[in-house]
Amino acid sequence: MSVNLKGFGFVAPEDGGSDVFIAAENLRGALNGDKVKVKIFGEYRGRREGSVVEILERANKIFVGTLNKVGGKVFVTPDDKRIDRIILPKFREKISGNTKVVVKIIAWEPLRGQVVEVLGKENSPGVEVRAILRSHGVEEDFPPEVQAEASRIELMPSEDEISRRIDRRNLKIVTIDGEDAKDLDDGVFAAERDGGFFLGVYIADVSFYVRPRSFLDKEAFNRATSIYPVDRVVPMLPRELSNGICSLNAGVDRLAMACEMKLDLTGSVVDYKIFPTVIHVFKRLSYTQVDKFLDGDKILADCAENLNALKKIRELRKKIRDERGSIDFNLPEMKILLNDAGKPIEIAKRIQTPAESIIEECMLLANETVAEHTLRKKIPSLYRVHELPNSEKVLTLNQLLAHFSLHIAKASEPSDFQKILAKVKGLPAEKVITSYTLRTMQQARYAAENLGHFGIAAKFYTHFTSPIRRYPDLIVHRALRGEKIKNLEEIAKQSSERERRAIDIERETLDLKATEFMQRFVDQQFDGVIESVTNFGFFVELDNGVDGLVRAADLRGDYYNFVESEFALVGQSTGKSYHIGDSVRVKLISANVKLRQLTFELVSDVANRDLIAKI
């Protein structure tokens, strides 16, 4: 059951048939996500229409909302606007109004509940982000038994275990990460050797410390991934592991899994070895330091051989991926900077730097090498798969591209999409077309079967390089150790679902802080590009990455109809149109933090930068 904010819903039948429309008065108490039994009695706008006759399974019993008191009655208004007020019968606690709480439902018709956690006053530092986490069922603290198990883990590798491993402590291995990173998964070392290159990728051996069926393992499976909301990290593993014994900190011995590769002068792998090792990271480097070195700065002289070889390997590997058609979406990420009180002070665009690209190419290559190894050795394992785009979505994309005199002919090879993105590079509509092309793709997921990775044009691909923050990587390490893993399909499904949950949480917290930041710019004007069009208006993305709605009802001078095939609103009398990709100037009318929505008013079609507010 999927319930719309306007109150009606749709049910997707288990047999794969067409959706069933459910009017608001026929929901019979069903909520978004519930599993229901439906009786079909007619059609609505070409779709089957029905009524809920039984609620088979509730999707959620826990909700987050704002507690208020009116006339002696205490109730919670859920953050999810599709859900009615929740009454709190016999509530006696001394909690003032406008307080964020977590409520457990005790009766469904009408909705009644009890408070199980008080998060804090609305708009207090960190409370809104914590509310988003709880609304997705995420607890930040680890259960006592998990924390106790983590506290008993040794602080340094034992000499007995070190003696069993191939020793790589003599190599000047470096880690390259962001300045504020604390969980360091991967170290690298490269050198020009024997008419080619040696590349060693060394990954924290989390599988040695997190054993199957332990409390740590069960919790890691449940979380499946670390989550990165805008103001914090919710780690998959307790910090004793993620920031301690499993983190490849400089100057200390650490257990690792090595993938050492010999590359020829073209960058192709001609030989490799995968084995448990012990390493001693020579130096921790930041992306900023490495980028300065690559620009000619004389710093990091003691790492110069390694970094120069890594630079050459990066260029060769990028060329190989480009030639086989790997799609580079290269969309800048929105990064929101917060002050100590958690208030947004700046929105910046984060674009991948050469140093980040070096690490990306090394990790991609290690992941491909390990995936091919497990297949050739017939080792049951997990894979990261990305399947062919859906043909209907490609058709829709081509309808959009037609407005820019572009067309994807086959859409069966990644290079078909790569060529389109190359053609729109530098155009005002580049980001819109790139984003729409990305939405055309299937979602990458985990599977027990290797199905290839369409986006990076790889026949073999897995996730091996981040076991501190991704459960599938931990499973791949166990497979490489020779451990038999029986429930690979279950792990793949759980990990894929938890990954999507993490993405939703991260996006929601970004939207929250972006809206909060934009409150100061109400009544100011901005440049923007129309990124999507609906029957109720169009969304405009500003230069800083935030977006908001221009309502069709607010467009002056005509009545505008939504023409889906044109991706446009078209004036009924004038024929004037607003298409995806059009540049416009807008005025910010409101920034609603509760709804995380910006509302714009159209000023004109042509941007005049002298009158545009500076964000």
Provide mean pLDDT across the span 468-486: 97
* Beta-carbon count within 10 A of 399 CB: 14
Q: Which CATH superfamily is domain 2-57 in?
A: Nucleic acid-binding proteins (2.40.50.140)
Numbers of helices and strands, H then E, in the chain: 14, 29
End-to-end CA distance of the chain: give it in Å, rounded: 41
Q: Does residue 146 surpass a pLDDT of 80?
A: yes
Q: What does the alpha-carbon distance between residue 185 and residue 362 come to, in Å, rounded to a whole number?
A: 13
Tokens 């990455």 -> residue: 545
How does residue 609 score in pLDDT terms, banded at 50, 70 and 90? very low
Q: What is the pLDDT of residues 189-221, one digit of tens each?
A: 999 999 999 999 999 999 999 999 999 999 999
Question: What is the dihedral sign for C-alpha 489, 257, 194, 172?
Answer: positive
Order of strands across the sheet with 196-204?
A: 166-167, 269-280, 253-263, 196-204, 186-193, 174-177, 283-286
> What average pLDDT does range 363-391 have in this prediction?
96
**Per-residue pLDDT for 468 more than 50?**
yes
Give this prediction's pTM. 0.91
Bridge pairing between strands 383-385 and 445-447:
antiparallel
Helix (H) or strand (E) holding 201: strand 196-204
To which residue do tokens 């690490």 refer?
A: 359
Q: Which residues of 284-315 are buried (b: 16+ CB within 10 A; e: fewer)?
A: bbbbebbbebbeeeeebeebeebbebbbbbbe
How many residues are there in the chain? 615
User: What is residue 172's three-state secondary structure?
Assistant: coil
Comparing CA positions, the residue from 449, 428, 445, 429 lying closest to residue 437 is: 429
State pLDDT tens for residues 5-20.
Answer: 778 899 988 877 788 9
At 92 the pLDDT is: 77
- Check residue 386 and report its DSSP letter: B
Q: What is the pLDDT of residue 613?
A: 53
Instruction: Specify the range with the lowest mean pLDDT, choosing from 4-13, 536-545, 555-564.
Output: 4-13
Pick the CATH number of 62-122 from 2.40.50.100, 2.40.50.700, 1.10.10.60, 3.40.50.10320: 2.40.50.700
Indicate if the pLDDT at residue 608 is higher than 60: no
Is there a contact between 568 and 554 (Cβ–Cβ < 8 Å)? Answer: no
Nearest to 598 by CA among 553, 555, 541: 541
Instruction: Give CA–CA dist 461/476, Å, rounded.
Output: 11
User: For all residues of the chain together, what is the average pLDDT?
Assistant: 93
Amino acid code (one letter) for 520: R
Provide the token pair at 132: 């988003």
Q: Residue 11's CB: how many other CB atoms inside 10 A? A: 22
Q: pLDDT at residue 133 above 60?
A: yes
What CA–CA distance (Å, rounded) separates 201 from 187?
6
- Between CA 548 and CA 590 the distance in angstroms is 9
- Distance in angstroms (rounded) separating the CA atoms of residues 297 and 426: 30
Question: Is the predicted pLDDT of residue 330 greater than 90, yes or no?
Answer: no
2-57 and 62-122 agree in CATH topology: yes
Q: What are phi and psi of 267, to 5 degrees?
A: 95, 5
Look up residue 313 and give its two tokens: 């390997």
The band of 606, judged by pLDDT with boundaries at 50, 70 and 90, is low
- List the structure tokens of 59: 């999707």
- DSSP helix, strand, coil percent of the chain (3-state; round to 5): 30, 30, 40
Backbone dihedral angles phi then psi of residue 394, each to the nearest 5 degrees: -65, -40
Interval 56-113: pLDDT, tens: 999 889 999 999 888 778 999 999 888 889 999 878 788 888 899 999 999 998 899 9
For residue 96, what are the CA distances in angstroms to 65, 77, 114, 222, 440?
Answer: 14, 14, 16, 35, 47
Q: State how far the Cα of 459 lies from the Cα of 474, in Å rounded to an integer.
A: 22
Q: What is the pLDDT of residue 521?
A: 97
Residues 239 and 439: their CA atoms lie apart, in Å, by: 35
SS3 36: strand
- Given a cut of 50, whether residue 611 has pLDDT beyond it is no
CATH architecture of the domain covering 522-611: Beta Barrel (2.40)
Q: Which percentage of the chain shows pLDDT scores above 70? A: 98
Element (H, E) at 367: helix 354-376
Domain extents in the chain: 2-57, 62-122, 144-382+462-508, 522-611
Prior bond to 110 cis, omega within 30? yes
CA angle 285, 289, 294 (to 5 degrees): 115
